[in-house]
Amino acid sequence: MALILNFVVGFLASFVGVIPPGLLNMSAAKISMKEGRKKGLLFSIGVCITVMIQTYIALLFAGYLDRHPEVVDMLQKVALGIFICITIFFFFIAKDTRREVPEEVNKSKTSKFFSGMFLGALNLLPLPYWVYISITFAGFGWFRFTQPELLAAVIASGFGTFTMLIIYVQYFRKKEDQGKLKVNMNYIIGFITAVISIITAIKIFNNF
C-alpha cells in the first residue's frame, strides 16, 4: 500500500507541477510543432530523465529533514506564509498570462534527448518542490522514505512529467494551434498554491 501511495503522490505532484507554461513544456510544444512530434517526444524524455534524478536527490534530502522534525516545523510555517502570498499574487496582482507560444526554439544539431536533459538541469525548481511535497505528505502518513517507496515516487515523477509534456506536445502539434493560450494560467497556479497552503495549514494545526 505504501508503494502505491508513493507512486500516486509522485505522479500527481509531478503532473500538477508541469501544468503552468514554462521553458520546458513550451519548448516541447514548439519543437513538436516545428520539427515533428518525434523530436518533441525525445525532448520530453530527456527532460523526464533529469526530473527523476532531481527528484531522487530532493527526496534523499527530504528523508534527512523528516528525521529532524524541529527543522520541518519551522520550514512548514515559513512555507505557509510564502504560499499564501503567492496565491494572493497570482489571483489578484499578476498580469494575464495568455500569450503566444515562443517563436524561436534552439535548432542545434544536438540530439533533442540531450537538449531536454540540459534544459531540465537548468530548472532547479523540482528540488525544493519535492522536498516540500514529500515532507508534507509524509506528515499525513501518505509518503515514505524507505528505498522501494522512494524509487516508486521517483519513477512516478518521470511518468507524471512526461504525461503533461505529451499533453503540451499534442495540443500545439498543428500550425493552427500556434495562437495564444486560451486560459489565464495565473488562476491555475493560484489554485495549486491555495491547495498547498490549505494542506500546510492543516498539517501545522494538527501538530498543535
How many residues comprise the chain? 208
Number of domains in the chain: 1
User: C-alpha grid cell for residue 93?
Assistant: 496582482
Segments in 36-125 forming alpha helices (H): 37-66, 69-88, 112-122
Higher pLDDT, 65 or 94: 65
C-alpha grid cell, residue 135: 515532507
Q: Choose among 4, 11, 19, 42: nearest CA to 155.
A: 11
Chain-centre distance for alpha carbon 144 = 19
pLDDT at 162 over 70: yes
DSSP per residue, 17-32: HT-S--HHHHHHHHHH
pLDDT of 135 > 90? The answer is no
Task: Specify the residue for cell string 515562443.
Answer: 102
Query: Structural domain of residue 16, as residue ranges?
Result: 2-207
Q: What is the pLDDT of residue 64?
A: 86
Tens of pLDDT, residues 180-200 = 555 555 676 677 778 877 877
State how far the Cα of 44 lies from the Cα of 117, in Å rounded to an integer: 9
* Pick from 27-36, 99-108, 124-133: least confident: 99-108
Q: How confident is the model at residue 159 (pLDDT cuts 50, 70, 90)?
A: very high
Whether 157 contacts 66, CB under 8 Å: no
How far is it, in rounded angstroms, from Cα 72 to Cα 17?
22
Angle in degrees, 0-180, between the axes of helices 126-139 and 185-207, rounded to the nearest 10: 40
- pLDDT tier, 176 (very low <50, low <70, confident <90, very high otherwise): very low
Give the Cα separation of 109 and 205 in Å (integer).
Answer: 53
Closest-CA residue to 57 (of 8, 159, 107, 129):
129
At 191 the pLDDT is 78
In tens, the pLDDT along 75-106 reads 777 777 877 887 787 777 765 555 544 444 44
